[in-house]
Each structure stands twice: as C-alpha cells, then as structure tokens.
Amino acid sequence: MSRRKLAAGNWKMNGTGAALAELETLIAGHADPDVEILICPPATLLYRAAQLAANAPLQIGAQDCHPEDAGAHTGDISAAMLADAGATHVILGHSERRENHDESSELTRAKAKTAISTGLTAIICLGESLTQREAANTLDIIAGQLSISVPDASTAENTVIAYEPIWAIGTGLTPSVAQIDEVHDFIRTRLVARFGPQIGNGIRLLYGGSVKPGNAAEIFATDNVDGALVGGASLKAADFSPIIAALEASA
C-alpha cells in the first residue's frame, strides 16, 4: 500500500514571530504533492503560521491539547481551539510531555480521541528509554504504549504514529537502520492485527530522534518509515529543506 510521505517539524518551545520567516522559505522551496509538510510551532504562533500557510502546501499543527472539550483548566488549550487557530494536526504523548508532565498512555488516548473527534490528525508518539533498550525491553514498551495510547477511532486519515526513542531525542544519537526497521515493522504488524489490513497498513509511521540532513536518506530508505518527526533540525529552513528533499527523493 502506498502511503503519502510526511515531513513534520516539532518546534517545541522555540520561536517567536521572527521565526515565521522560516515558513516562508519552506513554502517557496517545496511543491512535491507526494510529500506532506507539517510544522508544529508553539501555540502562540499557530494562528499566524496558519494564516501564512493558507493556500500553500504546508500544514500547521500543535504540540498538545487537553482531553476535554472546554472547561475550568487554566493554561490549557482544547482541540477545538487549535482547529479554530488553523491547526490540522496535533502531536500527542511526546516523551517530553510524558516525562515533564507525567502524562500516561491513558491520557494520550483520551487526548487523541478528542483531537480526532474535533477533526484533527493525531500524531501519537511512542518510544523507549535507553535503560529499557539496554534491558531488551524495547518491543514490550512499544507494544504497551501503542495498545493504550491509540484509540479505537484511529484510521489512516486521522492518526499518525511517531516512533521516537527517548535516547535519540536531541542527543545526536540515532538507532541503526536495522533497529528502526525492527520497531517500525513491529508497530505495523500490531496495527494490522488490531485494525485490519486497510487501516493497519494505511496509518503512517514516522521516525523521530536526531534526524538531520546527513542521516535522513538512509532512514527514509527503510520500508515502514513514511517520514520523520524532526525537532532541532526543523527550526531552520536551511536544515529542514534537505530533509524534506531526501523524503521527496524517496517518494
């Protein structure tokens, strides 16, 4: 089954208005319909980013949402608010939220259900720590996170899974291609077993963790890698563009 490639940038807590110039450079440089480009800026930039990207082949996503539709939750942002600001996607269950805010797979699933019912595409993140990998627990950890974090409502259109080994995030370390291949194949098999071949083979799988212009091509050559979720190297168009180009070349 052919799946549309996705190059997604997660700006995390980086960027003020001046960073929007990077989006203009990206928009000017890419027009391959086989590769979807997504930037997830901080919430404060969502509206302006979405305005700038309107009618351009660049989508704008958020980095988190609250599981409830509305209510007394000071400082939180609902999925409907994100959509209203122009977001089409939302990253959920990122390891930085799991670690820094004690977020569980159960909470990630609740957020994903709300995001999906609001019309957003949920990008659900999974990944093992270095200790878990060294103890040969990677596939067990991934299986647990996957089965709990992904809601029954998931389809190929409304859900993307990102495999992000925690030890590879922001460290410059990456798993070997064989290790990425093993985990992505495992996730694919599990999705097919749970959702059937149509949905299970349709959900896109991204790799994330120290993706750079120099390693993107070999990562994208892996069978079940449908794109990347990129942190640091998505902040500057000069770094993200060659990653997108590597994905375009693999499409």
- Residues near ligand 13P, by CB under 6 A: 10, 94, 164, 169-170, 208-211, 229-233
Nearest residue to ligand 13P, by Cβ distance, number only? 231
Q: How far is the CB of 129 from ligand 13P (least distance, A)?
A: 14
Q: How far is the CB of 142 from ligand 13P (least distance, A)?
A: 16
Question: How far is it, in rounded angstroms, from Cα 135 to Cα 172?
Answer: 22
Active site residues: 94, 164
221 vs 78: CA distance, rounded Å: 37
- In the complex, least distance from residue 147 CB atom to ligand 13P, rounded to whole angstroms: 21
For residues 23 and 80, which CB has a smaller minimum distance to ligand 13P in the complex? 23
Q: Which is nearer to ligand 13P, 67 or 227 (CB)?
A: 227
Residue 241: name the closest of 67, 87, 24, 64 by CA.
24
| Non-local CB neighbours of 67 within 8 Å, separated by 6+ positions | 107, 110, 111, 113, 114
